[in-house]
Amino acid sequence: MSTLNTVNITNGTDSITVEGAVKGSAKAWVNFNGTGTVAIRASYNVSSITDNGVGDYTVNFTTALADANYAANVNLGTTAGGGAVNPAISIRGQAITTSTYRFISQAATGGNYDLDTFSVAIFR
């Protein structure tokens, strides 16, 4: 096995430190349909999505992270009817492990809420 040691990576125009590339890159991300039969549209390092009930999802990582000290960013897409997202919807992180991230999408009224589109990005 060979080891490559370098400080920066460049494409001839832009440059980034190796540390920036490693630590600043998403360790996992997914865009998925959260209504009906949950389906992944596109992903990196995500093996599947578990539908735990209305508005309750678990993102399952293909390769586990080094630890559970990561940042999760969840973006909301459209409502089940295809309209704009209700601004009263919030995300609550539930279970953070090295191999999964579980979250709940909840309306201001307290009820869980499905959406047509969720995007989740994991950074560590």
For position 47, which CATH number holds? 2.60.40
Full-model pTM: 0.81
Domain for residue 61, yes or no?
Answer: yes
Which tops the pLDDT comparison, 109 or 96?
96
pLDDT over 60 at 86, yes or no? no
Between CA 30 and CA 51 the distance in angstroms is 14
Domain span at 107 = 26-123
- Inter-CA distances, 55 with 45, 76, 90, 93, Å: 22, 11, 10, 12
pLDDT digit string (tens) for 4-58?
777 778 888 877 787 767 777 899 999 999 988 999 999 999 999 999 999 899 9
Identify the pLDDT of residue 88. 52
In 3D space, the residue among 72, 59, 109 whose CA is nearest the CA of residue 89 turns out to be: 109
pLDDT over 90 at 102, yes or no? yes
Which tops the pLDDT comparison, 19 or 89?
19
Domain for residue 104, yes or no?
Answer: yes
The residue count of the chain comes to 124
